[in-house]
Amino acid sequence: MYSLFLPSFHKLIFHPLFLPVLLVVIFFYKFLFQTPATRKNLPPSPTKLPIIGNLHQLGQLPHRSLEALSRKHGELMFVYMGCKPTLVVSSADAAREIMKTHETIFSNRPKSRIISRLLYNYNDMAFSPYGDHWRQMRSICVTQLLSSKKVQSFRRIREEEAALMVEKIKRSCSLVVNLREILVTFTNDVICRASFGRKYSGNQEGDVRFERLSEEVMKLLGALCVGDFVPWLSWIDRLNGLEGRLEDVATRMDAFLEKVIQEHQNGLSTRRTICNESDKEENVRNFVEILLEIQRENKDVLPLDSVKAIILDMFVAGTDTSYTLIEWTISELITHPRILKKLQEEVRRIVQGKAHRVCEDDLEKLTYLKAVIKEALRLHPPGPLLLFRESMQDVMINGFHIAAGTQVIINAWAIQRDPSFWEEPEEFRPERFLNTSLYDFKGKNLQYIPFGAGRRGCPGTSFGMVVVELAIATLMYEFDWKFSGEKLDMTEIQGLTVGRRDPLMVIATPFACT
């Protein structure tokens, strides 16, 4: 997620104070950045500039810019993000050294002012430094929040929200539908109900405030914090208002989470019940309830700040990534009518004649659907540079010396389009994932790592994927699709995730069930 700060760098160089400061500092550059003549063997590197290092070469889409630089300098490339030494990894073999051979050494996370403030000084799981606290947070998330049994318990929520999504589209029948807008509401509502036990997408004042607040959090996570890259220029973050915005949003989000926690502690939130297959009722506890129960039993292991931080982890990781992936998948399907038709035939064959509605029991039978989604993730991983890592000690990688404290970027986007491994890598071909068990979402095969790999891989994959599979299967079953214009623009834009620059505007015609 630290890659989110990079595209905003171009704004910095147009700041009126940037050029004067640059000229002054260049004068002292050789004293500040002088490289010892006896430096150890480093990977190949493009030429860097004073102060900013190689930041100017990252452009608006860093995953593409770094891939182009790596073609020239190699699968292991050394760059400077301002003052921060950074290793860029652009092949599966090199990624194996980082995520398997020397995994423990590269299991730390770099520091970030924005992440620290929003996530309670790294009290979460995703960005917590490698150590005992991280192990405890991950154990809680994996066993209590994201286990297979827990994911299954939210089935009714997902199916209800999928049905509401269909009704919204049907109300726009024969009109152009802003599919992104509908998908954002769908994913947000699923995550909110799982996290808080209720939705925050209505017209009530509190719901509107939370929607706006969550949007501000997402924007901040995509903002540039100059001090992260050049610490002695951190005054720019105060001058441009970033620190003020960060403090304001963090304070308001903390107040919201305090209110939610207080409601749960006072027993004011309503627990929903669902029926399982044996017709027995069970309480479906949301994430806040589960975490508060653990917190009451052991405050030392899980302080309230960690409860808040983990909830934000779940919300941030589960919203943008899910709707972005669904939107990219539908976009690829519309531009490939043969694949779209084949997928619709599979879904309608499995579902038709039953309840005339997709349910989660159908998903395991939809093998082509799973291949389509895997191919969409190969071409459009929501986080193409994964979450940055940091080395905790000196180590040799492929003959190169990597010092402790080096930031590591693994370019999953480049690895998943490597022509030495993937045949016709730019083509959308779901068939490449049929009849093979080589590729899963755990990163066992490092040619395919949309969610990372190893101990710092994403633990919420199963939760996210069932949301995505159900949404796409439902949309394929319920509607026929076509683009509202002449040609679908697939231009990317960097934000919290790498999504479509333009919202997907489509015409959805309800499928007549027989």
Q: Check residue 513 and give its pLDDT.
A: 55
Per-residue pLDDT of the chain (514 residues; tens, 9 = 90+): 444 445 455 555 545 555 555 555 554 444 444 444 345 899 999 999 999 999 999 999 999 999 999 999 999 999 999 999 999 999 999 999 999 999 999 999 999 999 999 999 999 999 999 999 999 999 999 999 999 999 999 999 999 999 999 999 998 866 899 999 999 999 999 999 999 999 988 766 666 678 889 889 988 988 889 999 999 999 999 999 999 999 999 999 999 999 999 999 887 544 444 444 433 334 689 999 999 999 998 888 899 999 999 999 998 888 899 999 999 999 999 999 999 999 999 999 999 866 678 999 999 999 999 999 999 999 999 999 999 999 999 999 999 999 999 999 999 999 999 999 999 999 999 999 998 888 889 888 999 999 999 999 999 999 999 999 999 999 999 999 998 877 899 999 988 789 999 999 999 999 875 4
For the chain, the domains span 2-510
Nearest to residue 428, comparing CAs of 337, 348, 320, 324?
337
Alpha carbon separation from 79 to 38, 59, 60, 293, 404 (Å, rounded): 19, 14, 17, 46, 15
Percent composition of the chain: helix, strand, coil (DSSP 3-state, to 5)? 55, 10, 35
CA 149 to chain centre: 23
Give per-residue pLDDT as tens, 187-240: 999 999 999 999 988 766 666 678 889 889 988 988 889 999 999 999 999 999
Q: Please report, for residues 384, 403, 437, 456, 464, the alpha-carbon distance to residue 61 in angstroms, rounded to integers and kept in the order given.
A: 10, 27, 32, 24, 25
Strand (E) positions, 218-335?
Answer: 273-275, 281-283
pTM above 0.85, yes or no: yes
Contacts of 204 (CB under 8 A, 6+ apart): none
- 51 token code pair: 């102060």
| Separation between Cα atoms, residue 361 and residue 87, nearest integer Å | 44
Tokens, residue 8:
């905003």
**DSSP 8-state secondary structure symbol assigned to residue 172:** T
Dihedral (CA of 358, 362, 363, 368) sign = negative
Strands (E), 25-65: none
Q: Of all helices (H) and strands (E), which one includes residue 500?
A: strand 498-500
Residue with token string 């690829």: 332
User: Helices 304-335 and 132-140 sit at what angle, rounded to 10 degrees?
Assistant: 60
Q: Which superfamily does CATH assign the domain made up of 2-510 to?
A: Cytochrome P450 (1.10.630.10)
Give the whole-angstrom CA distance, residue 206 versus residue 448: 42
